[in-house]
Structure 1
């Protein structure tokens, strides 16, 4: 399987996802921005705004290549001079606080010396944690993982817990999901088998999230719940700008800043010492933003 074939499959995945989201939202269409990277390659940025459900969302495709930045060569201990990277990444910020934020990305990386790997993940960030919803989300992820390898979910779920974690807040970003990186033939699977897994993760997104959108979008919410949403969006910004490796990679490789930072929410608040009332829904959510929760089993909190 060649890199250009992988890139074309990812472009098709972007088409599938944006069409499904438009149909589910029913009120807005994606606007496309085709761009070129001066150092090599380019991409398609698709952004949706002010829909019936989605306040702002982006589904990005890119296929870039060129000289490996010295910073990344040193950090990853790589010797190759040139790289190729392609993938699809997305993030959705709904208007209703009862509809969770979601993130997904699938990617492929290849070096001029023939080294390659796949990476990606999908995670759910509810403003208010619904344990049944979290369980259903993780059940779908486990089905996909188990189909391709019996150890994938047990390995990639805690990897997501560790990755999507804000150590300076001692909070997970949400209820997690799966995260994986550096998947290559050392896993005992062929390149084609790994790509099939990665694509199925990508194809899982639209039906899973559209069901969540349909279930929650009509729920009424209060001013307090909207205020909490804006406050929690601040945590999302903190993670993406301070900790996210994908954001750093894009900026370090002179990526298109507008496309990289489309992940930012349209409106956000930081409140000094936000008051959390004991026994409130906000307090319960904070108790559930922890690592190592088994969402597939009953949770007492």
Structure 2
């Protein structure tokens, strides 16, 4: 069986690979690293890139933490053990160009020993996903993005893409706005071994999804980075960033987990954009690209 130490080591390697490739893509900015330790146990490497040619702000973070779960998290996870171990890589990139999309990725592993009473087996699972938040939805880019994810999913299990795409549609939904955060992607949680999938299969899938980030995102960046844009289009970018912020602060499970387990606040909130605007009662001009984008922020669109 794969050890938690091996999982953490492989995730660290993926963090290294992604950071090196993003620096090459940007061509100017370099990641700054801050190593940190969690008071309750474990720590991580926060890496931030800022003020680059194309990346205004981004983070590629690794963590491997352990300790005792607070009661609120035990109830949320429906477990009765105290001890936990969690490791993962989390990424959010905010470009400075309204035609280049925001992207988020997370791959993670969680385990707990057997219950305190000893009558339940250990708990362990993988989770993760990648989703895209374009400021302007470009049909060809959306199809490319979802097809790339489908290819990774299909190479491991026949219904991964279908299941995880629906899961992403439901998860990345801003209920109080009645709109999706972007065009979705794939999302999964509590994925465990069964008769058809071994722990090795699931771990390999987790790593393959993580390593699909660079070829997929760099293609989208390079397709759009040299397009011209107007001041109004940048204002729209800031407006869309405000919706991203609302989701992360109100609904995002990773943000809640980090706060509830006394995580490092700067690393938890690195997903927030450097600039966002809340325009009161914004109404898109009929027939505009902004209106088109709003019409596509809904569940159930078959992009692939």
Q: TM-score, normalised by structure 2?
A: 0.96
Once the two structures are superposed, the pairs formed by residues 1-301 of structure 1 within 5 Å of their partners are: 1-113=2-114, 114-186=122-194, 188-296=196-304
* CA–CA distance in structure 2, aligned partners of residues 265 and 70 of structure 1: 31
CA shift digits 1:249-299 (9 cap, x unpaired): 000000000000000000010010113110000000000001000012xxx
Aligned-residue offset at 1:187: 6.7
SS at the partner of 1:148? coil
Aligned-residue offset at 1:186: 3.6
Is the alpha carbon distance of 1:201 and 1:187 closer, same or farther for their aligned partners in structure 2, counting shifts above 3 Å? farther
How many equivalent residue pairs? 296
Which blocks of at least 5 consecutive residues in structure 2 are unaligned? 115-121
* CA–CA distance in structure 1, aligned partners of residues 77 and 30 of structure 2: 39
Aligned-residue offset at 1:101: 0.2
Is the alpha carbon distance of 1:124 and 1:187 closer, same or farther for their aligned partners in structure 2, counting shifts above 3 Å? farther
* CA–CA distance in structure 1, aligned partners of residues 266 and 77 of structure 2: 26
* CA–CA distance in structure 2, aligned partners of residues 79 and 276 of structure 1: 49
Aligned-residue offset at 1:185: 1.3
SS at the partner of 1:211? helix
Which blocks of at least 5 consecutive residues in structure 1 are unaligned? 297-301
* CA–CA distance in structure 1, aligned partners of residues 198 and 94 of structure 2: 36
Aligned-residue offset at 1:207: 1.1
* CA–CA distance in structure 2, aligned partners of residues 78 and 186 of structure 1: 20
* CA–CA distance in structure 1, aligned partners of residues 260 and 69 of structure 2: 10
* CA–CA distance in structure 2, aligned partners of residues 58 and 261 of structure 1: 10
CA shift digits 1:39-76 (9 cap, x unpaired): 00000000000000000000000000001111111122
* CA–CA distance in structure 2, aligned partners of residues 69 and 206 of structure 1: 36
- What is the Cα-based RMSD across aligned positions, in Å? 0.8
SS at the partner of 1:266? coil
SS at the partner of 1:107? strand
**Which 4+ residue blocks in structure 1 deviate beyond 4 angstroms?**
none
Is the alpha carbon distance of 1:295 and 1:147 closer, same or farther for their aligned partners in structure 2, counting shifts above 3 Å? same
* CA–CA distance in structure 1, aligned partners of residues 274 and 287 of structure 2: 30
